[in-house]
Copies of this chain bind each other. A is one copy, B any other.
Amino acid sequence: MTTVQDQKTVEEFRKPTFPIDPLFINRWSPRSFLEKPVADELLFSLFEAARWAPSANNSQPWTFIVARSVEDQAKFHSFILEGNLAWCRKAPVLAMALSRKTENEKVYKFHAFDTGMACANLALQATAHGLITHFMAGIDAEKARQVLDIPAEYDIQGVIAIGYQGEKEALSEALQQREQPNGRKELSEVVFEGSLDQKVNFTK
């Protein structure tokens, strides 16, 4: 069985240029979930980690709605797009990440950025617990807003599937082809020295 602990699989696809905590490369987004529930305390610790993310003026614009019951998950399934629904039905937990766009009635520019920080914490704590996460942007956001009655002050950032990793073979043939950790751009494509036209000297 391919699990998040299967270091060999991750190392085959991901070669960090500089040494980093294994959490960062071990966190990837599988689609094969076991139909195995996540214990409350384990699940809550993911949101606990999210909670300690930084935000401008400590405004903490993140808000989460979890769907664990059959009824709540059915609501979520009604607005998740078909491509994601094909695999995420097995995930024992779905969580919508919302960002509050206002702070003391003023526009809060960094709501999405800060909520992203909280979600990265969530995903890394999941990895530390041997859980997997998969962020889905592929939802009908307008329908989600209606179904869950989400006020206009919140922006919908996506839905996170949370659970235990299942066997690759449990997926459809097409999804099995995609069930592997993906790579990244080179560091030199995303980090610059002083200005965007100046390369960093990354030689060791």
What residues of chain A have their CB less than 8 Å away from a CB belonging to chain B? Answer: 14, 16-21, 24-25, 27-29, 40-41, 44-45, 47-54, 56-58, 60, 62-69, 71-72, 75, 99, 109-110, 112-121, 123-125, 128, 135, 137, 148-151, 157-158, 182, 184-185, 187, 190-196, 200, 202, 204
Contacts and interface: CB of A to CB of B under 8 A. Distances in A.
A21 B120 CA distance: 13
21 contacts: A16-B51, A19-B45, A20-B125, A21-B49, A24-B53, A27-B54, A44-B200, A44-B202, A56-B135, A60-B184, A63-B192, A64-B192, A65-B194, A69-B194, A110-B137, A113-B158, A115-B116, A116-B119, A118-B120, A124-B124, A148-B196
A66 B200 contact: yes
For chain A, what secondary structure do more than half of its interface residues adopt (helix, strand, loop), or is it mixed? mixed
Nearest to A71: B194
B121 A119 contact: no
Given A44-B187, A65-B194, A196-B150, A20 B52 contact: yes
B52 A14 contact: yes
Nearest to A68: B193
A65 B21 contact: no
Contacts of A185: 51, 60
A190 B75 CA distance: 20
Contacts of A27: 52, 54
